[in-house]
Amino acid sequence: MPRLGELLILAGLLTAEQIEQALRAQVLWGGRLGTNLVELHHLELDPLAKALGRQHRMPAALARHFDHADRELQRRLSPELAERYACVPLLCTGPDHHVVVASVAPIPPRHLAIIADELAVDAGRVVPAIAAELRIRYQLERVYGIRRAARFLRARGKDVPLFPALAIPPAHADGDAELDAMLPDVPTATDRLARLPADPAAGDRMATELALPRPARPPDETGDETDDEIELGDDDLLPIEVVPPPPGAEIDPAQHGAGRGPRLDAGVDDPRARERRTYVRTLADAPSLDSESQRLGRIMIRRVVVSSELRVLTGATLGEATRAIRRGTGRDRVADLVIDTIDRFVPACEAAILLVIRGTTAVGWKGFQRTGTGLGEIAVPMDQGGLIPRAVDHNAAQRGRCSELDAIDRLLLTSLGRTTGDLVIVPIAIADRVMCVIALAADDDATLAFTEPIAAAAGAAFARLMRDAGR
């Protein structure tokens, strides 16, 4: 299977530099490569869907297909399955009433059978189609009320800056030594560090698994390489088309929903069904309704849980833990290790969250709270003052007592589960540019040693991942 980036370059839609920029953005922003290309204004959703169709040899579900979807058919699929498989039924097509189901990625046959059973159709009559991730996320919210995570909402600001073209220097062999000089090999400050597993073979199996080579491309782009040139025109591969039944033919509602859906190739645009401009909700935005407040509480920042065996491999000292961060094999792995290292080696920290800067918003990613209460999704505006903008502007840690904080910082501290104490912001710089920060809550004047070396290790890890992604 060809890579998406290669297809877009061969088709003349994008340049290698644009693909590289999106791959680097993917390291911090997350999401699929196509999502980042759209957010960087390099590509529109429909051309992306066509390219994905060519890549996976599947029909491409475009905007006009979603605009004319059969709502009765969509109601047959439960929100649970729609969310689990990231899919949305569109409509019935052809004389045999095949059901078109659009998804973010190809759905395995076993899962298609589950979807077909709930839609009350034969599995052989389900036609899987592929669509852009941003469009599927929007439709899941619009049709099923499954709220999009902040990652898939627009960043605020009329002119959201593109992901910077960072001049990331090459890695040096003595990079570990330079960062190790910032801290001693201090043993863990807690007694929660797991010991070696009782079964030695278990440790050997785990080491073998971790030693497997990393994929050469992002997790969502797998398969063999190809040099075949393509054209992405309106003649989509395996085009979907609704064929009306013969005049007077009886339509079975059980197979077709409340009525026959419109042609997929219809050129009518319904502006009411288009993607609406929904922005990331920040701490400065109060929910307007109680029902909205309940919906906003649905998405939580996942507490990082690192297995005891994995902690053994990442080290019993702070120096070993930061080295594990710098050598992390993926964005989520690095973020997990950052939060876990703070949890283990900064006992004065009561709560912490890693936030990624997108436009004029810092969006929460991973975090923990010692009380065990989950952290809700957090987004902080960057254009209303506070410790985070200062930490970004000066590339230096900022700290303030609760009584001295401005309104936004107090809301951030409260979101971390504290109404007293200090708020600390530690920047994570990549190529001398702050791209994310760590927000920590602690008691007044509590010692938060080693947070800056941990942030430096994270910056080195993200720089390496960006450097590798652009190759």
Q: Domain extents for the chain? A: 4-159+236-273, 300-469
Give the amino acid at 153: L
Q: Is 434:459 a contact under the CB 8 Å cutoff?
A: no
Q: Rounded distance, CA 438 to CA 332, Å?
A: 15
Distances (CA, A) of 159 to 39, 354, 364, 471: 12, 24, 21, 29
Query: How many whole angstroms from its chain centre is CA 180?
Result: 31
Q: Taking all residues of the chain, what is their mean pLDDT, rounded to a whole number? A: 76
**How much is the pLDDT for 423?**
97
Q: Rounded distance, CA 39 to CA 25, Å?
A: 10
Percent of the chain scored above 90 by pLDDT?
56
- Tell me what the mean pLDDT of segment 402-427 comes to: 95
DSSP E strand stretches across 17-111: 87-93, 98-103
In this structure, CATH architecture of domain 300-469? 2-Layer Sandwich (3.30)
How is residue 309 written in tokens? Answer: 């065996």
- Tell me what the mean pLDDT of segment 144-160 comes to: 76
**How much is the pLDDT for 168?**
67
**How much is the pLDDT for 431?**
86
pLDDT at 374 over 90: no
**How much is the pLDDT for 174?**
52
**How much is the pLDDT for 211?**
25
Q: Rounded distance, CA 397 to CA 394, Å?
A: 8
More confident residue, 236 or 276: 276
pLDDT at 310 over 90: no
Q: Is 302:366 a contact under the CB 8 Å cutoff?
A: yes
Give the residues across from 279 on adjacent strands.
Answer: 154
More confident residue, 283 or 212: 283
- Tell me what the mean pLDDT of segment 117-141 comes to: 95
Residue reference for tokens 């069904």: 273
**How much is the pLDDT for 373?**
76
Going 251 to 256 to 258 to 264, the CA torsion angle's sign is negative
| DSSP annotation of 55 | H
Residue reference for tokens 């852009």: 132
pLDDT band of 203, cuts 50, 70, 90: very low
pLDDT at 458 over 90: yes
Least confident among 50-64, 201-215, 266-280: 201-215
- Tell me what the mean pLDDT of segment 174-199 comes to: 41
Indicate the pairing of strand 126-130 with strand 98-103: parallel
Greatest Cα pair distance, the chain, in angstroms, is 83
